[in-house]
């Protein structure tokens, strides 16, 4: 188990190989489909983004509401491939890592190589377990999107696997389309 701390640097990214088990600590930002669309529209219009992208990690998650006494509800990954059209744009703008479940397309894998970035897989359908590794959560943008709002999360030893590394390798038996 490799311990890594965000934000990510080229050096950290290059040390990660597909199949490595990692424990991620530090700040990550949540974003799903709707937030990705808005972020990419802002980039296209050359406008300021509501979150810093340089070295950042985005977690594809829409958590359940936090019950009393908890910082967040259930919080596992959603399907990564739905973000395939957007991720190359964010990677070009400085994004260094993503956390999701399932496959990534060719364009994303090329961008991971080009911009020295990494894609992690967290265990899909294990949102109760994964919520235990989130120590704070705060909505920082797009509150109107409800569960799809962008949240700033602080992770402590969040378990994930390097699914696609910066060298073009993957942990998956099937590489996807």
Partner 1 sequence: MRTIQFDKIVSEVEKLCTTAGTQLPQDVLTALQQAEKKESNASAKKILNQLIENAKLAKLQNIPICQDTGLAVVFVQLGSMVSIQPESKTIIDAVNAGVSSGYEKGYLRKSVVAQPLNNRKNTGTNTPAVIHTQIVGGDKIKITLLAKGGGCENKSQFKMFLPTDSAEKISDWIVNVVASAGADACPPFIVGVGLGGDFEQCCLLSKIALTRNLDSKNSDPFYAQMEKQLLQKINSLNIGPAGMGGDTTALGCLIETAPCHIASLPVAVNIECHAHRHAWVEI
- Residues of this chain that interact with partner 1 (CB under 8 A) are 34, 61-67, 70, 73-76, 78-81, 101-103, 121, 123-129, 131-132, 145-148, 161, 171-174, 176
- The reply to whether 36 belongs to the active site is yes
Q: What is the DSSP pairing of strand 21-30 with strand 118-121?
A: unpaired
Rg (CA), the chain: 15
DSSP-assigned beta bridge partners for residue 36 = none
Q: Based on CB atoms, which residue is closest to partner 1, 98 or 121?
A: 121
The least distance separating partner 1 from the CB of residue 42, rounded to whole angstroms, comes to 19
Q: Based on CB atoms, which residue is closest to partner 1, 7 or 73?
A: 73
Question: 31: closest CA among 138, 147, 120, 121?
Answer: 147
DSSP-assigned beta bridge partners for residue 97 = 57, 118
Question: 77: closest CA among 113, 38, 28?
Answer: 28
Q: Based on CB atoms, which residue is closest to partner 1, 42 or 175?
A: 175
The least distance separating partner 1 from the CB of residue 97, rounded to whole angstroms, comes to 18
The least distance separating partner 1 from the CB of residue 147, rounded to whole angstroms, comes to 5
The residue from 36, 38, 96, 119 that is catalytic is: 36
Straight-line distance from the first to the last Cα atom of the chain, in angstroms, rounded to the nearest whole number: 29
User: Hey, which residues are catalytic here?
Assistant: 36
């Amino acid at each position: 188990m490799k311990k890594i701390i965000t934000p990510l640097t080229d050096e950290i990214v290059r040390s990660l190989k597909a199949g490595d088990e990692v424990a991620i600590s530090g700040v990550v930002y949540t974003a799903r489909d709707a937030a990705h669309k808005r972020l990419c529209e802002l980039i296209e219009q050359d406008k300021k983004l509501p979150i810093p992208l340089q070295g950042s990690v985005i977690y594809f998650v829409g958590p359940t509401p936090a019950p009393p006494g908890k910082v967040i509800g259930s919080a596992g990954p959603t399907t990564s491939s739905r973000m395939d059209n957007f991720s190359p744009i964010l990677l070009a703008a400085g994004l260094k890592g993503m956390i999701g479940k399932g496959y990534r397309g060719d364009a994303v894998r090329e961008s991971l190589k080009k911009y020295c970035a990494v894609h992690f897989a967290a265990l899909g359908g294990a949102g109760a377990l994964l919520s235990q590794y989130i120590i704070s959560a705060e909505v920082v943008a797009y509150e109107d999107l409800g569960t799809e709002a962008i949240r700033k999360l602080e992770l402590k030893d969040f378990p994930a696997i390097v699914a696609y590394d910066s060298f073009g390798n993957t942990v998956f038996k099937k590489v996807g389309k």
